[in-house]
Amino acid sequence: MRHALHAEWTKLRTAPGTALLLAASVLLTVGASALTAAIVKCPGSCTADTTKLSLTGVMLGQATVATLAVLAMSSEYGTGMIRVTLAAMPRRPTLLAAKAAVVTGAVLVAGAVAVGASLLAGRLLEPGNGFTARHGFVALSLAHGPTLRAAAGSVLYLALIALLSLGVATALRDSAVAITVVLGLLYILPVLGTAILSPQWQHHIERWAPANAGLAVQATRNLGTLPIGPWAGLAVLTAWTAAALLAGGLLLRLRDA
């Protein structure tokens, strides 16, 4: 396993896109979060959840995280490298585990940086926009339990999105098809979740779609009115991820490369 990890780490480290995509994830997350924090004002949105507000960028940053994770697997199929990899490491579950570990590690680090910087931006910008003690807001701080949960949960969310993407890519092998499926899941379902003219289906999407459920972990106010609780939502995303990895792992084991 150690050799597999080392090999996967070397591949990930030396692939040209990795650094770029990780940097893009951090920039998109922090940029979009800071921009949102800068334009949402009280009065205007005094009911806003300031923690969730300052983590808006995660919704954008997840796209590049997904791309990174998809490429970690599918680019091997694209270049034929997968045959060399499997010749060197014939135990396929180990290979998938090693890939999952290094991708998760990289995303956890980038995610922690992105989420930390987003919260910091929120802490600096939001009081200037009227989210002050006078309106019942305190400055964002990780010492505040729900905010800590939202921050840690957002980092975990990004890691789970990466693993989900890796699983889908392992099952589908082609990078274009895999990224299309993953981004479709992450972006089209939320559009339908807000627009769909059926309260029942709206409820279903909010509870069971991976992005909707997973991002429930960012909520810190009115938890009672959420369609799904913060940790339960993350658990739903974990189930999606587990299913994708399982399907990917099985297909990797059963199929010729």
Partner 1 sequence: MTATMTPYRSGQQAGHDGFAQVLWAEWTKFRTMRGWVVAMLAAAIATALAPIALASIATSNDPMTCVHGTCQVESSNVATGPDGEAVTDSFYFVHQPLAGNGSLTASISSLHGTGPLAYLPGGVPKHHLPGLPQPATQPWAKAGILIKAGTRPGSPYAAIMLTAGHGVRMQYDFTHDIAGPPAVPSATAPRWLRLARSGDTVTGYFSADGRHWGTVATVHLTGLPTTAQAGLFVASPDYLFETQGFGGGDQGVDNPTQATAVFRQVSKRGDWPAGASAGAWTGGQAGFAQRSPDKISRTCNGVACGSLAQQPGHFRQSGGTFTVAGSGDIAPFVQVVDPLQVTFYGTLFGAIAVIALGAVFITGEYRRGMIRTTLAASPRRGRVLAAKAIVIGLVTFAAGLAGAAIAFPIAVRKLHDLSWKPPVWPVWSLTSQVGVRMVLGTAALLAVTALLALAAGTILRRSAGAITAVIGLVIVPLVLAVVLPTAPADWLLRYTPAAAFSLQTSTQRYPQVTTGCIPYHGCYPLAPWTGFAVMCAWAVLALAVAAVLLRRRDA
Binding footprint of partner 1 on the chain (CB under 8 A):
17, 35-36, 39-40, 42-49, 52-53, 56, 59-60, 63-64, 66-67, 70-71, 74, 78, 135, 174-180, 183-184, 187-188, 190-192, 194-201
Please state the closest distance from residue 192 (CB atom) to partner 1, in A.
6
Distance, first Cα to last Cα, the chain:
21
Nearer to partner 1, 4 or 65 (CB): 65
* Element housing 10 (H / E): helix 2-14
The total of other beta-carbon atoms located within 10 Å of residue 40's CB is: 20
What size, in residues, is the chain? 257
Please state the closest distance from residue 2 (CB atom) to partner 1, in A.
29
Residue recorded with tokens 């693993």: 163
CB 164 within 8 A of CB 241: yes
Reduced to 3 states (helix: H, G, I; strand: E, B; else coil), residue 229 is coil
Please state the closest distance from residue 195 (CB atom) to partner 1, in A.
5
Please state the closest distance from residue 239 (CB atom) to partner 1, in A.
22
Please state the closest distance from residue 23 (CB atom) to partner 1, in A.
13
CB 231 within 8 A of CB 166: no
Please state the closest distance from residue 54 (CB atom) to partner 1, in A.
11
Please state the closest distance from residue 209 (CB atom) to partner 1, in A.
12
Q: Which residues contact 128 (CB under 8 A, 6 or more apart)?
A: none
Nearer to partner 1, 187 or 231 (CB): 187
Nearer to partner 1, 67 or 238 (CB): 67
Nearer to partner 1, 4 or 220 (CB): 220
Q: Which residues contact 171 (CB under 8 A, 6 or more apart)?
A: 178, 244, 247, 248, 251
Reduced to 3 states (helix: H, G, I; strand: E, B; else coil), residue 190 is helix
Q: ∠147-150-153 over CA atoms, to 5°?
A: 145
Nearer to partner 1, 117 or 172 (CB): 172
Nearer to partner 1, 51 or 238 (CB): 51
| Structural tokens at position 153 | 């949960």
Nearer to partner 1, 174 or 255 (CB): 174
Cα–Cα distances (Å) from 180 to 20, 132, 185, in that order, read 20, 42, 9
Classify 28 in phi/psi space as left (phi over 0), alpha (psi -120 to 50) or beta.
alpha
